[in-house]
Amino acid sequence: MDTDIKAVCTASSGVNLTLPEVTYGTLGDPVTLPATFSTDRRVMNIAWYKLDPREPTSRTQIFSYYPPLQTRESYGDYVGRTSLEDQASLRIARTKPADEGKYILSVSVEGVGSSEGQVQLFLMVPPTLRVGPSNPYVTAWGKPALLTCAVQGAKPNVTSLHWEKNGVMIDTSGSHTKFVGGNLQRPALHIRHVGRADSGVYACVADHVVTVVRASLALNVYYPSSVLSISDSVTATVVTYPSSVLSISDSVTATVSDHITLQCVTDGNPPPNITWSRDGVWLPSTSSRLTRDAWTSTLQLRDVTVNDSGTYWCRTSNRVGRGSSRSLQVTIRESRLGIGISTLAVVVGATDSVLAIVVCVALSTYIVRRRRLQCGKKRIPVYPKAVRQQPARVEGTAEPSPYASAPYVTPPATSPHVTTRYVNTPATSGYVTRSTTSPHVTTPDKPPNGTACNGGINTIRRTLGQKS
**Averaged pLDDT score across all residues of the chain:** 77
Distance CA 463, CA 261 (A): 95
pLDDT at site 337: 58
Top mean pLDDT of 45-59, 357-371, 435-449 is at 45-59
Q: Is 448 left (phi over 0), alpha (psi -120 to 50) or beta?
A: alpha
- Greater pLDDT, 259 or 460: 259
**What is the rounded CA–CA span in Å between residue 79 and residue 338?**
99
Q: Is the same domain home to 215 and 239?
A: no
The whole-angstrom separation of Cα 226 and Cα 320 is: 11
pLDDT of residue 152: 94
Question: Does one domain contain both 240 and 325?
Answer: yes
Same domain, yes or no, for 165 and 203?
yes
d(CA 69, CA 349): 127
| 296 and 265 Cβ atoms separated by less than 8 Å | yes
Domain residues for the domain of 16 are 7-124
Q: Is residue 133 reached through a cis peptide bond, with omega within 30 degrees of 0 on the bond before it?
A: yes
Angle at 313 between CA 311 and CA 317, to 5 degrees: 170
| 65 and 112 inside one domain | yes
pLDDT confidence of residue 122: 96
Phi then psi for residue 363, to 5 deg, are: -65, -40
Q: How far apart are CA 73 and CA 433, in angstroms?
A: 185
260 assigned to some structural domain: yes
The pLDDT of residue 276 is 94
Q: What is the pLDDT of residue 129?
A: 95
- Whether 66 and 172 map to the same domain: the answer is no
**Percent of the chain having pLDDT more than 90?**
43
Q: DSSP per residue over 302-347, as a string?
A: -S--GGG-EEEEEEEE-SSS--EEEEEEEEEEEEE----HHHHHHH
Q: Are residues 197 and 259 in the same domain?
A: no
Residues 87 and 111 in one domain: yes
Query: Which of residues 406 and 202 earns the better pLDDT score?
Result: 202
| Residue 416 within any structural domain of the chain | no
User: What span, in angstroms and rounded, lies between the C-alpha atoms of 334 and 306?
Assistant: 7
SS3 187: coil
Segment holding 363, helix H or strand E:
helix 341-378
Query: CB-based burial of residue 332 (10 Å sphere; 0-12 exposed, 13-18 middle, 19+ buried)?
Result: buried
378 inside domain: no
Q: Does a structural domain hold residue 394?
A: no
**Is 80 part of a structural domain of the chain?**
yes
Q: Among 194, 223, 252, which residue terminates a domain? A: 223
Statement to judge: residues 238 and 324 lie in one domain: yes
| One domain, residues 44 and 94 | yes
Q: Are 324 and 313 in contact (CB under 8 A)?
A: no
137 belongs to a structural domain? yes
Number of structural domains (the chain) is 3
Query: How far apart (Å, rounded) are the C-alpha atoms in residues 441 and 192?
Result: 141
Dmax of the chain from CA atoms? 208
118 is a domain residue: yes
Q: Among 29-33, 106-110, 320-324, which stretch is predicted with the lowest mean pLDDT? A: 320-324
CATH number at residue 212: 2.60.40.10
Please, which pLDDT band fits residue 167 given cuts at 50, 70 and 90? very high
Q: Is 34 a member of any domain?
A: yes
Same domain membership, residue 114 and residue 30: yes
Q: Are residues 160 and 242 in the same domain?
A: no
CB 130 within 8 A of CB 150: yes
Reported as a pLDDT band with limits 50, 70 and 90, residue 231 is confident
Cis? peptide before 136, omega within 30° of 0? yes
Residue 48 φ/ψ, nearest 5 degrees: -115, 140
Q: Kindly state whether residues 331 and 295 are assigned to the same domain.
A: yes
User: Order of strands, edge to edge, in the sheet holding 324-336?
Assistant: 234-240, 324-336, 310-317, 273-278, 281-283
Can you tell me the mean pLDDT for 370-398? 54
φ and ψ of 460, to 5 deg: -65, -40
Averaged pLDDT, 227-252: 54
Three-class SS of residue 459? helix
pLDDT per residue as tens digits for the range 93-127: 999 999 999 999 999 998 888 899 999 999 999 99
Last residue of a domain, one of 336, 365, 383: 336
Given 312, 336, 360, which residue is the final one in a domain?
Answer: 336
154 CB neighbour count, 10 Å cutoff: 19
